[in-house]
A and B are shown apart, each in its own frame.
Chain A
Amino acid sequence: MDGPDVGWYLIVAAILFGIGALGVMMRRSPLIVLLSLELMLNAANLTLIAFARQQGDLDGQIFALAVMAVAAAEVAIGLGLIVAMARRRMLLDVDQASALRG
């Protein structure tokens, strides 16, 4: 098998995932939160593909495609929400959107 060992890929993916997770937890702008979410998903994708290559079958790649589709759908909804918030002239701050508080 050519190329770096699978462990390297996993390290990169873990770093990506950590950045994404921290972003989701710490940033208040919904746009950044969404970006961070994408980062996490792509970290997962990277892992899937890395393992797929190591195992030598296509299942992981197919799954990655499915994740990408889901991610695209999610971004569409998320952006839609952000636009709707902007239209209503709400502050673009996720902490303000707490109507679901129990």
Chain B
Amino acid sequence: MIVGAWICLVAPLAGALAITLAGTRISRTTAGWISTLTTFVAFAGALVAFVGLWAEGHGDREHLSTAYTWLESGDFQVELQILLDTLSSTMMLIVSGVGGLIVWYSMGYMEGDEEERRYFAYMSLFVFSMLMLVQAGNLLLLLIGWGLVGLASYLLIGFWHSKPEAVAAAKKAFVMNAIGDVTLALGLVLLIWETGTLEYLGVFEQVDGLSTTTVNLVALGLLGGAVAKSAQIPLHTWLPDAMEGPTPVSALIHAATMVTAGVYLLVRASPIFEAAPDVQALAAILGAITLLVAGVIALVQWDIKRVIAYSTMSQIGYMFLAAGIGAYGYAIFHLATHAFFKALLFMTAGVVIHHLGGEQDIRKMGGLRPLMPRTHLAFLVGALSLAGIPIFSGFWSKDGIVAAAFASGDTLGYTLYAAALTGALLTGLYTFRLYFAVFHGKPSELVKEHSHDGQREGPLSMLIPVGVLGVLATIGGLLVIPGVWEPFLHWIDETAEPTVKATVGQDYATSAIAVTLGLIGFFVARRASAAGRQIVTSPGIWRVLEHKLYFDEAYDALFYRPAAAISVALRRNVEEPVVERSLDEIGTGTLQVGGEVARVQSGLLRTYAIAIAFAVCVLVVVFVAVR
């Protein structure tokens, strides 16, 4: 069982190394297969671990396995260890399973790119890092996985490195994530001094003994990391830009796995957050704000991938909300279903983009339904699931979160509830605005241009993963039917006991409201589409939303430009005039003094001799006098 977990961790790393070392000696297809197969080996390992864990008794499902001591200093030790429990095994399955499908899909999508090998090496590196993140047995190892996924994300966003926008987006993503990394690291530093360990189990045992300030600061540090990684307000601006990367990357990293790492951390470290209820509430509030803001911004975007990116932010907002109010099972459940349907949406979007020769602007699309029937169907499944229409997976997970918000009670709970329901309406609106713009209406010039290319919607390696995910997005939600059958929740509850649970009545009442709102969104979007107008009609609001509420501009003015200005000012006003010129002055000063003193050097030997004699006399007098 634990061997399966180790195989799961190591296989993708082996894949990445093999592709790197082989270099140009293997063909591009071979590189793709190595990456795909090692990821599926990881999935098999995860499956073995899962089944092994399943077979164990309730309460025994927690295994810590240590390989060696990674870092040691004095009494402080960090071991390379993995923790296998219900939460991590679920995440392993999601990461390696969805990851395997997307890497497979990439083989079709990236075909013909001249640097495919590099792409697959990066993909394998990413899968390894993500598995490290979810399997880590202590917080430092988690931080390492955390940083390495950021690295892989940087590499893959900037994969097309001759595009300046891609490089800029990659740098932005890395720096914003680095901010999250260091806040997380600061939280860990505090933990080291207060508890002397970073192992989850050791830390959780001692949480109760810590002072409120300490716990709050630690929780804030962790939350900072989670917010940056999961693109929540206020550290969210990198995610839309990250869409400059290849589409499968967006599907894998910026939808299904990496960006949900923040949610994983909130759930994993739930004992810490429960000891710091204010910070936990802050997580929920940030989630709620993000889900609204991102949902509204998604209404005015023209880039198909950016719409889905904002929708991702919005959905992760739901997960943060869930984790923030203590509905951990639902947070992870929504994480899982979101991985299915959002990866599906991105991959179908990828098929469309691929088909249209790289075009991403939805204004140039339209009427694709008859031309790409299978793609259309898959996209529709994803859209229905995202909007939370019954049967489809998103329905079961999202409504559970909304109901839990209601069940948590008090003013905060009801506010969050209202926000989550508003979010449901927004989701319906932006999802179907996108759907109608792409697949309905009259075919545009661009679509006509590409429609006689043949009947194929894409290579099999792209269509099979899409099909598998389509099935998962349809039925994946059936793992939780409130009041009837809730194996998924029970499974997660073993690791993270929820602090809030909606009654069955609350569940179904909420669902009724949420589905109605989702359907309203559908119909409004359809009417708007049929009438050829947008959902947001006020040009003033449109402009504000188009600028994404001016977050980028504000950060530019607040941080980047001051930093650059300080840097230039330091060079002009300190480095050059003071430090460097002081040296010149020392130099010229020395020369001047030297010039004065040099006059004594007459070059006449006799004067020297006289000087010596005189000096000797003086010394003699001094010595005699002193004695």
Direct contact of A and B (CB under 8 A): yes
Contact of B603 among A24, A28, A33, A99 (CB under 8 A): A99
B73 lies within 8 A of chain A by Cβ: no
On whether the beta carbons of A94 and B606 are closer than 8 Å, the reply is yes
Q: How many A-B residue pairs have CB under 8 A?
A: 36
Q: Which of B597-626 contact A (CB under 8 A)?
A: 597-606, 609-610, 613
Q: Quick one: closest A residue to B596, CB to CB? A: A102
On whether the beta carbons of A24 and B602 are closer than 8 Å, the reply is no
A101 lies within 8 A of chain B by Cβ: yes
On whether the beta carbons of B613 and A25 are closer than 8 Å, the reply is yes
Alpha-carbon separation in the docked complex, A15 to B208 (Å) = 96
On whether the beta carbons of A97 and B601 are closer than 8 Å, the reply is no
On whether the beta carbons of B603 and A98 are closer than 8 Å, the reply is yes
Q: Mark B383-415, 1 if CB is under 8 A from A, else 0.
A: 000000000000000000000000000000000
Alpha-carbon separation in the docked complex, A28 to B613 (Å) = 17
On whether the beta carbons of B606 and A26 are closer than 8 Å, the reply is yes
CB-defined contacts of A33 to chain B, threshold 8 Å: 605
Q: Quick one: closest B residue to A23, CB to CB? A: B609
Contact of A100 among B601, B606, B609, B613 (CB under 8 A): B601
Alpha-carbon separation in the docked complex, A14 to B600 (Å) = 29
Alpha-carbon separation in the docked complex, A94 to B609 (Å) = 12
On whether the beta carbons of A101 and B602 are closer than 8 Å, the reply is yes
* Least Cβ–Cβ distance between B473 and chain A, in angstroms: 91
CB-defined contacts of A24 to chain B, threshold 8 Å: 606, 609
A21 lies within 8 A of chain B by Cβ: yes
* Least Cβ–Cβ distance between B42 and chain A, in angstroms: 79
A95 lies within 8 A of chain B by Cβ: yes
On whether the beta carbons of A21 and B603 are closer than 8 Å, the reply is no
On whether the beta carbons of A101 and B605 are closer than 8 Å, the reply is no
> Which residue among A28, A98, A102 has the maximum number of chain B CB atoms within 10 Å of its CB?
A102
Task: List 9 additional A-B contacts (Cβ < 8 Å) besides A94-B605, A100-B601, A102-B599.
Answer: A21-B609, A21-B613, A24-B606, A25-B610, A25-B613, A33-B605, A94-B606, A101-B601, A101-B602
CB-defined contacts of A26 to chain B, threshold 8 Å: 606
9 contacts between A and B (CB under 8 A): A21-B609, A24-B609, A25-B613, A26-B606, A94-B606, A97-B605, A101-B604, A102-B597, A102-B599
CB-defined contacts of B613 to chain A, threshold 8 Å: 21, 25
Q: Which of A46-93 contact B (CB under 8 A)?
A: none
CB-defined contacts of A25 to chain B, threshold 8 Å: 606, 609-610, 613
CB-defined contacts of A98 to chain B, threshold 8 Å: 602-604
CB-defined contacts of B610 to chain A, threshold 8 Å: 25
On whether the beta carbons of A95 and B601 are closer than 8 Å, the reply is no
Given A21-B613, A25-B613, verify A101-B603 contact (CB < 8 Å).
yes
Alpha-carbon separation in the docked complex, A101 to B602 (Å) = 5
Number of interface residues of B (CB under 8 A): 13
Q: Which 7 A-B pairs have the closest CB atoms?
A: A102-B598, A98-B603, A101-B603, A102-B601, A100-B603, A24-B609, A94-B605
Q: Mark A13-45, 1 if CB is under 8 A from B, else 0.
A: 000000001001110100001000000000000
Q: Which chain B residues have a beta carbon within 8 Å of chain A's beta carbons?
A: 597-606, 609-610, 613
Chain A interface category by residue count:
10 to 19
CB-defined contacts of B605 to chain A, threshold 8 Å: 33, 94-95, 97
CB-defined contacts of B599 to chain A, threshold 8 Å: 102
> Which residue among B597, B600, B602, B604 has the maximum number of chain A CB atoms within 10 Å of its CB?
B604
CB-defined contacts of B600 to chain A, threshold 8 Å: 102
On whether the beta carbons of A95 and B609 are closer than 8 Å, the reply is no
* Least Cβ–Cβ distance between B570 and chain A, in angstroms: 41
> Which residue among B597, B600, B609 has the maximum number of chain A CB atoms within 10 Å of its CB?
B609
CB-defined contacts of B604 to chain A, threshold 8 Å: 94-95, 98, 101
Alpha-carbon separation in the docked complex, A98 to B602 (Å) = 7
* Least Cβ–Cβ distance between B583 and chain A, in angstroms: 25
* Least Cβ–Cβ distance between A64 and chain B, in angstroms: 21
* Least Cβ–Cβ distance between A52 and chain B, in angstroms: 23
Alpha-carbon separation in the docked complex, A24 to B601 (Å) = 18
Alpha-carbon separation in the docked complex, A21 to B613 (Å) = 8
Alpha-carbon separation in the docked complex, A98 to B608 (Å) = 12
* Least Cβ–Cβ distance between B419 and chain A, in angstroms: 85
* Least Cβ–Cβ distance between B618 and chain A, in angstroms: 15
Q: Quick one: closest B residue to A95, CB to CB? A: B604
* Least Cβ–Cβ distance between A41 and chain B, in angstroms: 14
Contact of B606 among A95, A99, A102 (CB under 8 A): A95
CB-defined contacts of A21 to chain B, threshold 8 Å: 609, 613
CB-defined contacts of B609 to chain A, threshold 8 Å: 21, 24-25
Alpha-carbon separation in the docked complex, A99 to B603 (Å) = 6
Q: Quick one: closest A residue to B600, CB to CB? A: A102
Alpha-carbon separation in the docked complex, A100 to B606 (Å) = 13
* Least Cβ–Cβ distance between B354 and chain A, in angstroms: 82
Alpha-carbon separation in the docked complex, A101 to B610 (Å) = 16
Alpha-carbon separation in the docked complex, A26 to B601 (Å) = 18
Alpha-carbon separation in the docked complex, A97 to B602 (Å) = 11
* Least Cβ–Cβ distance between B224 and chain A, in angstroms: 66
> Which residue among B597, B600, B603, B610 has the maximum number of chain A CB atoms within 10 Å of its CB?
B603
CB-defined contacts of B602 to chain A, threshold 8 Å: 98, 101-102
Alpha-carbon separation in the docked complex, A24 to B603 (Å) = 15
Alpha-carbon separation in the docked complex, A21 to B598 (Å) = 25
Alpha-carbon separation in the docked complex, A102 to B600 (Å) = 7
Q: Quick one: closest B residue to A24, CB to CB? A: B609
* Least Cβ–Cβ distance between B467 and chain A, in angstroms: 93
Q: Quick one: closest A residue to B599, CB to CB? A: A102
Q: Quick one: closest B residue to A27, CB to CB? A: B606
Q: Quick one: closest A residue to B594, CB to CB? A: A102
Q: Quick one: closest A residue to B598, CB to CB? A: A102
CB-defined contacts of B603 to chain A, threshold 8 Å: 97-102
Alpha-carbon separation in the docked complex, A100 to B601 (Å) = 7
Alpha-carbon separation in the docked complex, A94 to B598 (Å) = 20
CB-defined contacts of B601 to chain A, threshold 8 Å: 100-102
Alpha-carbon separation in the docked complex, A89 to B80 (Å) = 86
Alpha-carbon separation in the docked complex, A33 to B605 (Å) = 10
CB-defined contacts of A101 to chain B, threshold 8 Å: 601-604
* Least Cβ–Cβ distance between A55 and chain B, in angstroms: 22
CB-defined contacts of B597 to chain A, threshold 8 Å: 102
Alpha-carbon separation in the docked complex, A24 to B606 (Å) = 7
Alpha-carbon separation in the docked complex, A24 to B605 (Å) = 9
Alpha-carbon separation in the docked complex, A99 to B600 (Å) = 14
CB-defined contacts of A28 to chain B, threshold 8 Å: 606
Q: Quick one: closest A residue to B595, CB to CB? A: A102
* Least Cβ–Cβ distance between B584 and chain A, in angstroms: 23
* Least Cβ–Cβ distance between A38 and chain B, in angstroms: 15
CB-defined contacts of B598 to chain A, threshold 8 Å: 102
CB-defined contacts of A95 to chain B, threshold 8 Å: 604-606
Alpha-carbon separation in the docked complex, A33 to B606 (Å) = 9
